[in-house]
Every structure is written in C-alpha cells, then in structure tokens.
C-alpha cells in the first residue's frame, strides 16, 4: 500500500491532468461526421507520434559513448518521426481532396 500512496502523492497533478484529458479527448471528437473518420484518425495518429519527445529526452541523457542506448534512441526517433511527419502529410493530402470539390 505504501508505494501506491507515495506514487499518488508524488504525481497528483499528473493524475489530475490525465483524468481531465481523457474527458477532453472524448469530447473533442464527439459528433464527427463519417466523412472525416479517416482523416481524423490519421491526424490523431500523428499526434500520438508525440512519443518522439521521449526518445529525444532519452538520447539527451545518454552517455556520449553508450552506443547501445544511443542507437536504440536513434531508432526510436526515426520511427516516431516517421509517424509524425507521415501522419500529418497523409492527412493533409486527404483533406486537400475534400476541399477541392467544395466550390
């Protein structure tokens, strides 16, 4: 029990943020028209690439000669960055098609 209470005490703000953000996430995409399901999903997918920040922090803390950690972190950045840039680009491409024929 002790570690649990300690964890809660130490991370109370984060727990608050997390809980509220869950509701926010559900609220933000409610009532999305079916046309936008795919772009919304790939846009959200790009946002989840925010995990790239974790890999950046990891590399910044790594010893300059710890090549195993550096390589794994490097791989992490490459993968997550592909997710970020690819996600936004592909979403933009899709949405461009929607816009084109609205006139």
Partner 1 sequence: MESSVSDFIYLACIVLFIVGLKKLSHPDTARNGNLVAATGMGIAILVAIFYPMEGATNNYTWIAGGLVLGSAGGYIAAKKVQMTAMPEMVSLFNGLGGACAMLISIVEFYNYPAQQDLLNGQAITTLFALFVGSITFTGSLIAFGKLQGFLRDSLVLPFPTVVNMVLLLVIVGSGVYITLLPQLNFNFIIILLILSLVYGVTFVTPIGGGDMPVVISLLNSFSGIGATLAGLIYNNQVMVVGGIIVGASGTILTILMCKAMNRSLFNVIIGGFGGGGSSAVDSGEQVVKEATYADLAIQLKYSQKVIIVPGYGLAVAQAQHACHELEELMEKEGVTVKYAIHPVAGRMPGHMNVLLAEADVPYPKLLDLEDANKEFPSTDVILVIGANDVVNPAANDDPGSPIYGMPILEVELAKNVIVLKRSMSAGYAGIENQLFFGEKTRMLFGDAKKSLNKLIEETSAA
Stretch 18-37 residues interacting with partner 1 (CB under 8 A): 18, 21-26, 28-37
Least Å distance, CB 30 to partner 1, is 7
Least Å distance, CB 67 to partner 1, is 10
Distances, alpha carbon 69 to alpha carbons 1, 52, 81, in Å: 34, 15, 18
Spell out the residues 6+ positions from residue 2 whose beta carbon is closer than 8 angstroms to its own: none
Residue 100 lies near partner 1 (rule: CB under 8 A): yes
Site for partner 1 in 34-73 (CB under 8 A): 34-64, 68-70, 72-73
Dihedral sign for Cα atoms in the order 27, 32, 37, 39: negative
Helices and strands of the chain, counted as H and E runs: 5, 0
> Site size for partner 1, by CB under 8 A?
85
Least Å distance, CB 19 to partner 1, is 9
């Amino acid at each position: 029990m002790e570690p649990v209470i300690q964890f809660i005490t130490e991370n109370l703000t984060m727990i608050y943020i997390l809980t509220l953000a869950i509701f926010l996430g559900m609220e933000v995409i409610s009532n999305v028209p079916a046309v936008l399901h795919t772009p919304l999903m790939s846009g959200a997918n790009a946002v989840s690439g925010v995990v790239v920040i974790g890999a950046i922090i990891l590399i910044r803390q790594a010893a300059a000669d710890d090549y195993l950690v550096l390589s794994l972190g490097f791989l992490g950045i490459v993968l997550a960055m592909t997710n970020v840039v690819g996600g936004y680009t592909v979403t933009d491409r899709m949405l461009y098609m929607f816009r084109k024929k609205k006139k």
